[in-house]
Structure 1
Amino acid sequence: MANPTRWATDTGPEHSQWYIDRFRRLAAEGADLAGEARLLDALVPPGSRILDAGCGTGRVSAALAARGHTVVGVDADPALVEAARADHPDPHFLVGDLAELDLAAAGEAEPFDAAVVAGNVMAFVAPGTEPEVLRRVAAHLRPDGVVVVGFGTDRGYLLADFDADAVAAGLRQEHRFATWDLRPWSDGTDFAVTVLRRPADPTAG
C-alpha cells in the first residue's frame, strides 16, 4: 500500500474492532443494513457480477449475494475483511488498496456488471488517491457497467472534485440522490448517492 488510507491514519487502534462490533450488534438487533444492496439490485440483471469496493464488514456484499449476485468485496483493512469472511461465507473477500486495485492479479479477471462504493469509502481513501480509486474501479467494469457511490459531502472530499474525478475516470453521471432510498438531491444536502456508468461507446455523445 503506497499511502496509508485515512481509515488508518485518522482513527484510533481500536476503531476497526469497534466498527466490527457495531455492525454485528446492529445485525443481531434486526437493523436494516441492506439499503445500498436494494438499490444496486434494482439497477442490474439477476445474477450479476458485482464489486463491493471498500466492503468493510461485508454487509452490502452479503445482501447482494443473498439476492443471487456473484460478489467480490475488497477492503484495505485486514481486520474488517477477516470479520466479513467469518460472518458472510458467500461473497469472495480480498484485502486490497482501492488505489492499487488489480483484481486480475488476484484471480478475479472477469469484469463486473456493477460496483458499489458505500459507507463513506471515498472519504477514507488516502488523500489525493480519489481520482485513481475511481479510475481503478471503472477499469474493472464491463462496458455499460454501472457504479454507485455514496458519501457525506461534509467529509473533506468536495462533490465538485468527485464529479471531475468521475469524468476523468471515464464515467458518466446518470442520477444523483440524497439517500440510498432515492430521496431527492438538492444543493446543500450533506450526503450524495451518485449513479455513474461506464459508456459502452466512450466516443458517443
Structure 2
Amino acid sequence: MVHFDSELPERKAFSLHGCPVDVKAARPGSSSSRKDLLRDHADRSATSRIRWREKAAFFHREDECYLRFLIPPGSRVLDIGCGIGDTLAALAPSYGVGIDFSSAQIDIARQRHPDLAFVEGDAEGPTTFSAIEGPFDFILVLDTIGSLDDCQSFIEHLHPLCTRETRIVFGYFSHLWYPVLKLAEALGMRMPHPDQNVLSPDDLRNLVSLADFDPVKSEQRVLLPASLFGIGRFVNRFISVLPGIRALSLRHYLVARSMRCAHDDIKSVTVVIPARNERGNIEPAVRRIAGFCPDIEIIFIEGHSKDGTFEEMQRVKQAFVGQDIKTMKQPGKGKADAVFTAFDAARGDVLMILDADLTMPPEQLCKFYDALCSGKGEFVNGSRLVYPMDEGAMRFLNLVANKIFSYLFSWLLNQRYTDTLCGTKVLRRSDYQRLKAGKAYFGDFDPFGDFDLIFGASKLNLKSIDLPIRYAARNYGETQISRFSHGWMLLKMVVFAFFKIKAV
C-alpha cells in the first residue's frame, strides 16, 4: 500500500505533449508481507533487469510485436507494473505513464526514457491512481496481475481512468508453462521471480467480469521463446496461432472494456440504404422503419440503377415530408463506395446499414439500436444463420459456405461471428471515424464494405455481437449475389485476415 504524504517534498510537475502529470513522490506504506517480499526483490534485481532483458531479447520482441498490433502508436498509454519502462517506450505513446512499486526500477526507467512519465507507487494503493491524469486509450497490465494481493479490487480501481473507448490489455504467462518457467529459473536461463499468482484464462476472465469489465477478445501466442536461427519467428507467427495448438502457447492476452463507461449519450440515428435496381422497395423501406429513436435520418444512396430507383427515391422524399430523408448518387461503383459515401454525409450519432432488398426486416432495426445503446455491443452485426429462413431466401451452397466461413472468421478475429455477409451492421459514427482514420492498415481490399467494417472493428478492439434476424425472401427484384464469386471473395478474405490480423 502507498500513500502520498503532504510532508514529502513535491516533485516538479511536468507536461508531456501538453498533458500534465502529477508525480508526487509515493512511498510504500503498510502492505502485506508478500508484497514487501516482491518489492524488495524488484529493488534488488533492478540493476540486472537490463541484462536479463537483453538475454531474452527475442521473447520481448515477440511480445511487443503483438502489443503494437493491439496498441497503435500515438495512443495515450498507462503501463501498470512498468519495470524499467522499455515496453512502454516500444509502444511509442503520445502520452505515456508508467507505474511501479520499485523505486530502483522507476529511477532506471526515468534515466532510460526521459520523454515518458514514471510514478513510484503500489498499484493496489488507495491513492496511487489519483496522482495520474487520465483518461487513457489503453491501460497495459503486463504480468503485474501475478503480483497482486487482490486482483478484483485492483481491476475495479481502473474504472476512473477509462472512457468508453479505453481498453485494458492484460498480458500474462500461461499457467501450463509455469513448471517450465521455474525450471528455466533454476537453470539460470530466466530471471528469478518470487512465487506469483498463476491464473488460467478462465480465472482472469472471471475476475475481469466480477470487476465490472467486459472481456472483448483474447489471444494466445509464442510457442518458442527463443529465435533458434529464425525458426522461432516463423513458428510464433504462423503455427502458434492455429486452432488447438494455440492453447499450448506461452503468452496469453486479454482485452477488456469498462462496463461502467459503456454508455454514452446517443441522440440520433442515420439509416443508410444503398440501392441498385430496387425501385419497388424504396417506399416500403420508409414505411417499415419504426420510430425507435426520436431523431432518425434516412439516406438513400443509389448505385447506377436501370429501373428508375433514383427517381423513386426522390418521389418518396417528397411524399414523406415529415421525415428527414436524403437522396444521393454514389460517385463510384460497388456497395462499399455507396455505404462509405453515405456514412461520410451522415449526421447521426449511430450509423446503420439496411440493404434495400429488405430481406432483413426494417422492423428489426430497433433491436440493433437497443443493443448499442445498452452497451452490450459496440459493433452490432446482423446474423441470418441462427433462425430458420423463408423458403428461397438463401441458396443451399451459400448457406453451407456462410456456415463454414463463420467458424473461420470467429477464430481469426477472436470474437464470435455467425454471419459476415449480412448487410445490416451498426456502429457509432465516432467509431466509424476512427475506423476510417486507420483504414490505411488494411488498404482498399473489399468491394462490399462488410469486411472493411468487420476487420476495422476488430483492429479497434470494439466489442462485436451478433444479433439474429429472420432472413426473409425478396418481394421485389432479383438477388445480386453470385454464389461462386462471393465464395471466392470469402476465401480471399480469410487469407487476407490471417496475414493482417492473426499472423502479425
Same structural fold, with TM-score higher than 0.5 when normalized by the shorter chain = yes
CA 1:10–1:75 in 2, change beyond 3 Å: closer, same or farther?
Answer: closer
Instruction: Identify the residue that residue 31 of structure 1 maps to in structure 2.
Output: 57
Instruction: Identify the residue that residue 78 of structure 1 maps to in structure 2.
Output: 103
Asked if 1:123 is matched to 2:165, the reply is no
Give distance in 2, aligned partners of 1:198 and 1:17.
36
Asked if 1:111 is matched to 2:116, the reply is no
Aligned residue identity for 2:262: D
Give distance in 2, aligned partners of 1:104 and 1:22.
25
Name structure 2 gaps, 5 residues minimum.
Answer: 2-29, 179-195, 223-235, 264-373, 377-504
* CA contact 2:221–2:246 (8 Å) conserved in 1: no
* CA contact 1:73–1:92 (8 Å) conserved in 2: yes
Instruction: Identify the residue that residue 169 of structure 1 maps to in structure 2.
Output: 211
Asked if 1:52 is matched to 2:52, the reply is no
- Structure that is richer in helix per residue: 2
- Structure that is richer in strand per residue: 1
Asked if 1:204 is matched to 2:407, the reply is no
Asked if 1:8 is matched to 2:14, the reply is no
**Aligned-pair CA distance for 1:30:** 9.6
CA 1:6–1:163 in 2, change beyond 3 Å: closer, same or farther?
Answer: farther
Aligned residue identity for 2:213: L
Name structure 1 gaps, 5 residues minimum.
Answer: none
Instruction: Identify the residue that residue 199 of structure 2 maps to in structure 1.
Output: 158
CA 1:115–1:37 in 2, change beyond 3 Å: closer, same or farther?
Answer: farther
Give the SS at the match of 2:163.
Answer: strand
CA 1:186–1:38 in 2, change beyond 3 Å: closer, same or farther?
Answer: closer
Give the SS at the match of 1:142.
Answer: coil
51-60 or 148-157: bigger deviation: 148-157
Instruction: Identify the residue that residue 179 of structure 1 maps to in structure 2.
Output: 221
Aligned residue identity for 2:104: A
Give distance in 1, aligned partners of 2:99 and 2:212.
21
**Aligned-pair CA distance for 1:45:** 4.9
CA 1:168–1:139 in 2, change beyond 3 Å: closer, same or farther?
Answer: farther
**TM-score using structure 1 length:** 0.78
Deviation string, structure 1 residues 122-178 (Cα, Å, up to 9, x no partner): 1112x2x11111122343122121111112224534323321110122222222222
Aligned residue identity for 1:194: L
Give the SS at the match of 2:45.
Answer: helix
- RMSD over equivalenced CA pairs, Å: 3.1
Aligned residue identity for 1:162: L
* CA contact 2:43–2:103 (8 Å) conserved in 1: no
CA 1:195–1:45 in 2, change beyond 3 Å: closer, same or farther?
Answer: same
Give distance in 2, aligned partners of 1:139 and 1:37.
26
Give distance in 2, aligned partners of 1:5 and 1:178.
33
**Aligned-pair CA distance for 1:113:** 0.5
Deviation string, structure 1 residues 18-71 (Cα, Å, up to 9, x no partner): 3432324644x793545444434333454211000110111112212xx24311
Give distance in 2, aligned partners of 1:104 and 1:18.
25
* CA contact 2:219–2:253 (8 Å) conserved in 1: yes
* Higher CA-based Rg: 2
Which has the higher relative contact order, 1 or 2, with Cα contacts under 8 A spaced 6 or more apart? 1
Instruction: Identify the residue that residue 411 of structure 2 maps to in structure 1.
Output: none
Residue 193 (structure 1) aligned to one of 253, 259, 262? 253
* CA contact 1:101–1:137 (8 Å) conserved in 2: no
Give distance in 1, aligned partners of 2:34 and 2:251.
19
Q: How many percent identity over aligned positions?
A: 23
Give distance in 2, aligned partners of 1:163 and 1:25.
30
Aligned residue identity for 1:110: G
CA 1:164–1:85 in 2, change beyond 3 Å: closer, same or farther?
Answer: same
* Corresponding pairs, count: 197
